[in-house]
Amino acid sequence: MNVIIVGCGRVGMTLAEKLNDDGNAVTVIDMLPSKVNEITSQIDVMGVVGNGATHTTLIDAGIKDADLFIAVTNSDELNLLCCMVAKKEGDCQTIARLKNPQYSNEAEYLRHELGLAMVINPEYAAAKEIARVLRFPSAIKIEPFAKGHVELIKFRLPKGSPIIGMSVKDMIVKYRANVLVCTIERGEEAHIANGDFVFAEKDVVSIVASVKNAHDFFVNINYKGHSVKNVLVAGGGVITHYLCEILQKSGIALKIVEKDEKLCETLAADYPKLDIIHGKPSDKELLLEEGVEKVGAFVALSNLDEENILLSLFAREVNNGKIVTKINRTDYDSVIRRLDLDTVITPKNVTADSILRYVRATRNAKGSNIETLYNIIEGKVEATEFIIKEDSPIVNIPLSQLKFQDNVLVASIFRDGKVIIPRGNDVILAGDSVIVVTKTVGLSDIADVLR
Amino acid sequence: MNFSAIRRVIGWILLFEAIFLLLPLLTAAVYWEEEFFVFLFCIALCASVGGLFLSKKLKNDAIYAKEGIVITTLCWIVLSLFGALPLYLSGADAYTSYVDALFEIVSGFTTTGATIVPTGAEVAALPKSILMWRSFSHWVGGMGVLVFMIAFLPLSGARNMYIMKAESPGPTVSKLVPKVRTTAKILYVIYAGMTAIQIILLLCGGMSFFESVNAAFATAGTGGFAIKADGFAGYSSYLQIVVTVFMLLFSINFNSYYMFGKRRWKEVLTAEVKAFLLIVFAAITAITLNVYYTNTLTSFGGALKHSAFSVSSIISTTGFVTEDFALWPMFSQILLLLIMFVGACAGSTGGGIKVSRLVVLGKSASNEIGKMLHPKQIKHVTVDGRVVEPDVVRSICAFVFLYVIVFIVSFLIISFDLNNLNYAGVENTKFMTGFSSVAATLNNIGPGLGAVGPAGSFAAYSWWSKLVFIFDMLAGRLEIFPMLLLFAPSTWRR
């Protein structure tokens, strides 16, 4: 597919990289030549310097042949204008990024009226993800599949966990767990689990299960299953704003520390019930005063990655609860993974995944449609949810007789409101939604997992 | 420095060279020449050394600007070192030493077309398979062997752009389409398509198949190795005109042809192409009038034909000849000498400084003059309605300066040789010979003036002068920086 991306910021760059890895022909547009040079020397894409909302720049970038147009500049208004001009100029799908809460409340209206294929909001998506883990703090990450009936849950094995030293097979038998262990991350390595894999301390494990089974499973292996009661948030930016909006009726008490007085005022006006503290989040005394030692969860959402990491590590030291850290940069992933952090949220990746899913789905695979796509381990392991159509080659054949490639796991089948954790005798039928976990990234059809 | 990635690309290049050598092998088989075994041996050698390089595991495929430049330069050197073997091992008397053979094949790959073979008659007497290898080396070198590799090898990553940037001529290299590989493929399709059209047109003019393939290869790469004793003089006017037109076509930026196909007319006739055509037109007019009124050539039609051919040949840096322009009046000779430095358009197969650089330099110089008059004036260099980045202008200035430095140093070194040179001419051609020798090799043209004129050759130079010329040809083809960087200590420092 020919894709044009306007805006070479963090989101734009991640998108360009992922879409290019996925085999699309990508052109990027930015006003700053230095940005364009940087991106074109790192990624195999074409760069055009100019204003993405002007006709001439779009022609230069080849809008006539484009299939998809994505505007992810820092300005919402510019993004909308870009999409409108692009729509007039070429026959393409358009995606705009909107981050201002005032617009995103009207996202549906804008989408419809301006003919956008999709409106993305990295900050809102990140806030939603944070809210999910706050409700179920034992998990590092929760990704809903099959319209929320199935969850992919990632958690870390702490010291003293009862399943350390057990093999996957034994664990399933002992706890009669109706879950499927997908992947295990150990240091830099990522494994697709088989029955003989033995758990070790500090492993990060991903499982797929229905919501209820997952809950039972965690209770069985001595994890807390209930939601956190109170949260301390460092930083009052856009994500915090959305987080307040999502959590306002959940009974989770939020306390926000923000150094900018204006932001404090806005938050206080919009959410009068919350505790808004005007002060530096990096001030240790202030944090202690506001009870960082006692809260159920600490969420670091300031604009600086370094500050977020530092605050999280401090909170970890004084508090045993849930810690969420927002990190924008992914280049130092390997270092960050070695730190004793809990949940790490990267807004740009959340967005990139949802656009990738859209791109792969519109590439129009024959036998199946991509419904959800999720990177379990960035760039290494993906979970993809397919809706199976009737003419798919895998329909009605027992799984044990299908010739899968190595490192492929059929993680769950969702049929008529029931979650099936598949075993060898199960078959996939038309209309099922099937989650497949693979080490090959970039699937666009379920038949791709066969040999 | 990522040596494992460099070794790998060099391995692939040797395998490609083995494949390229199949064409002369086939020629040798068709004409029953004993060089068949020479080529067979060289193919085996390239394939086995290449295979050896590839057998080592690749630890890490990260290529940065530094690796891109080193890979490009080393590949060209390795390609030439192995490519010279068939010439050296063949029965041809002309290539007495390995340096001679190396000079000849470097001249081939860099599309220079300067020959070591003393006389045209000896060229014509070379085995057909050797002639084919010489001409084919032009074709391979013209668009770039690494671009070829990028087009046909699924190498990973965007970093290939670093290689393409180092190999493609011109101040800035832009992609036609988002993917490097597709861009490289499109360029080669245009290149091969135009070559095929030329072959057909030459065949229509009654040229033999072998000759037209050779001529087309040499034109397409803007190389200039002739296969006949009298160059192009013996061919009909139709054939000479076809070659004139194609020499010009191959020295226009290939992006223009792509834009032509895409019907983006504004991008076809860029400022560079316009300037190029203007220079060609002006030079042809001046030389035609000069040779006609000095009665060097008596018919006006003949004067126009020969001056058009010579100007196209020189400015496209091909170096074909129909008339010995070393015998023309001094004005015409000097004018030809000057357009040697102009060269072709960026993104073509030609050499020289490149018209686009001169356009930018000219505009930037006129801006400087404006600044002298109005010291507070702010003005940008714009080409085709776009501001040229100050970085690009700076890099072009540095390029031209280094170009001149390389020229001067080379001239100085080979001047030791000029006194010993056996040339059949008058005293003052010593300077002309030396000056034009360096100009013709550094700009990848081929024949110079004086003793290295169309009728002469580089055979009389000593071995170390030839090494200087080899360096100049490579430096000219790769546009100075890569060759100099290869010898800069900081490139190799850890």
Domain match, A212 and A285 both: no
Phi then psi dihedrals of residue A67, to 5 deg: -100, -30
CB nearest to B177's CB, from A42, A43, A46: A46
Where among A220, A254, A280 does a domain terminate? A220
Nearest residue of chain A to residue B164 (CA atoms): A41
Rounded Cα gap, residues A215 and A177, in angstroms: 10
Domain match, A69 and A45 both: yes
> In this structure, is residue A351 part of a structural domain?
no
Whether B179 sits inside 8 A of A33 (CB atoms) is no
Where among A88, A120, A152 does a domain terminate? A120
pLDDT band for position B427 (50/70/90)?
very low
> In this structure, is residue A49 part of a structural domain?
yes
Domain match, A177 and A254 both: no
Nearest residue of chain B to residue A43 (CA atoms): B158
- The number of CA neighbours under 13 Å toward the Cβ of A104 is 20
Give the pLDDT score at A1.
84
Handedness of CA B250, B252, B258, B263 (dihedral sign): negative
Least confident segment among B215-229, B231-245, B425-439 = B425-439
> In this structure, is residue A354 part of a structural domain?
no
pLDDT band for position A324 (50/70/90)?
very high
Q: Per the structure block, which two tokens stand in for A307?
A: 């500050």
What percent of chain A lies above the pLDDT cut of 70? 98
- Would the pLDDT of B426 be above 50? no
Q: Which of residues 403-462 of B touch A (CB under 8 A)?
A: none
Longest dimension (CA), chain B: 74
Rounded Cα gap, residues A14 and A2, in angstroms: 17
N-terminal to C-terminal alpha carbon distance within chain A: 25
Give the pLDDT score at B494.
67
- Mean pLDDT of the region B96-120: 89
pLDDT tens sequence across A202-234: 888 888 888 888 888 888 887 766 778 889 999
For B433, residues 6+ apart whose C-beta sits below 8 A from its C-beta are B418, B421, B423, B425, B448, B449, B450, B451, B452
Q: Per the structure block, which two tokens stand in for A436?
A: 């497949």
Give the pLDDT score at B159.
65
Domain match, A188 and A271 both: no
Full residue range of the structural domain in which residue A47 is found: 2-120
- Would the pLDDT of A313 be above 80? yes
What 3-state DSSP class applies to B383? strand
Give the pLDDT score at A81.
92
Q: Interface pTM (ipTM) of the complex?
A: 0.79
- Would the pLDDT of B183 be above 90? no
> In this structure, is residue A67 part of a structural domain?
yes
Domain match, A110 and A12 both: yes
Residues constituting chain A: 451
> In this structure, is residue A353 part of a structural domain?
no
What percent of chain B lies above the pLDDT cut of 90? 49
Q: Across chain B, what does the average pLDDT equal?
A: 88
Rounded Cα gap, residues B110 and B5, in angstroms: 24
Domain match, A132 and A116 both: no
Instruction: Give the gap in angstroms from C-alpha B111 to the nearest C-alpha of chain A.
Output: 29
pLDDT tens sequence across A334-353: 788 788 888 888 888 878 87
Rounded Cα gap, residues A236 and A255, in angstroms: 10
Whether B182 sits inside 8 A of A43 (CB atoms) is no
- Would the pLDDT of A3 be above 70? yes
pLDDT band for position B423 (50/70/90)?
low
Q: Identify the CA nearest to A352 among candidates A2, A19, A1.
A: A19
Q: Per the structure block, which two tokens stand in for B431?
A: 């300077």
Q: Which of A56-65, A107-116, A305-314, B176-185 has the highest mean pLDDT?
A: A305-314
- Would the pLDDT of B420 be above 80? no
Buried b / exposed e across B105-128, counting CB within 10 Å, b at 16+? bbbbbbbbbbbbbeebebbeebbb
- Three-point CA angle B458, B459, B465, nearest 5°: 65
- Three-point CA angle B192, B198, B200, nearest 5°: 105
Domain match, A53 and A90 both: yes
Handedness of CA B90, B96, B99, B105 (dihedral sign): negative
Q: Per the structure block, which two tokens stand in for B98?
A: 């390995």
- Mean pLDDT of the region A51-56: 89
- Would the pLDDT of B47 be above 90? yes
- Mean pLDDT of the region B125-142: 92
Give the pLDDT score at B273.
92
CATH number at residue A338: 3.40.50.720
CATH number at residue A435: 3.30.70.1450
Q: Per the structure block, which two tokens stand in for B100?
A: 């001679």
pLDDT tens sequence across A360-417: 777 655 556 777 777 777 777 888 888 888 888 888 888 888 888 878 888 888 888 7
Where among A90, A120, A150 does a domain terminate? A120
Domain match, A87 and A142 both: no
- Mean pLDDT of the region B198-214: 93
Which residues, in sequence order, are bridge partners of residue A97?
Answer: A120
What is the number of structural domains in chain A? Answer: 4
Least confident segment among A257-266, A284-293, A383-392, B327-336 = A383-392
Domain match, A114 and A170 both: no
- Would the pLDDT of B124 be above 90? no
- Mean pLDDT of the region A417-424: 81
Whether B182 sits inside 8 A of A20 (CB atoms) is no
Q: Per the structure block, which two tokens stand in for A260?
A: 């900018």
Q: Which of A88-92, A380-384, B110-114, B121-125 has the highest mean pLDDT?
A: B110-114
Give the pLDDT score at A274.
86
Least confident segment among A31-40, A58-67, B55-64, B182-191 = B55-64
Q: Which residues of B touch A40 (CB under 8 A)?
A: 158, 161
Domain match, A113 and A153 both: no
pLDDT tens sequence across B147-179: 888 888 776 555 677 777 778 777 777 788 888
Domain match, A113 and A6 both: yes
pLDDT band for position A104 (50/70/90)?
confident
Domain match, A185 and A256 both: no
For B463, residues 6+ apart whose C-beta sits below 8 A from its C-beta are B97, B99
- Mean pLDDT of the region B238-243: 93
Least confident segment among B230-234, B245-249, B334-338, B351-355 = B230-234
Q: Which amino acid is at B465?
A: S
Q: Cα separations (Å) of B236 from A3, B240, B242, B291, B314?
A: 52, 6, 10, 21, 20
Least confident segment among A225-229, A240-244, B296-300, B345-349 = A225-229
Rounded Cα gap, residues B277 and B286, in angstroms: 14
CB nearest to A45's CB, from B162, B174, B178: B178
> In this structure, is residue A278 part of a structural domain?
yes
> In this structure, is residue A86 part of a structural domain?
yes
pTM metric for this prediction: 0.83
> In this structure, is residue A17 part of a structural domain?
yes
Whether A44 sits inside 8 A of B177 (CB atoms) is no
Chain A contact residues (CB < 8 Å to B): 2, 20, 25-27, 33, 40-46
Q: Which of residues 158-217 of B touch A (CB under 8 A)?
A: 158, 160-162, 174-175, 177-180, 182
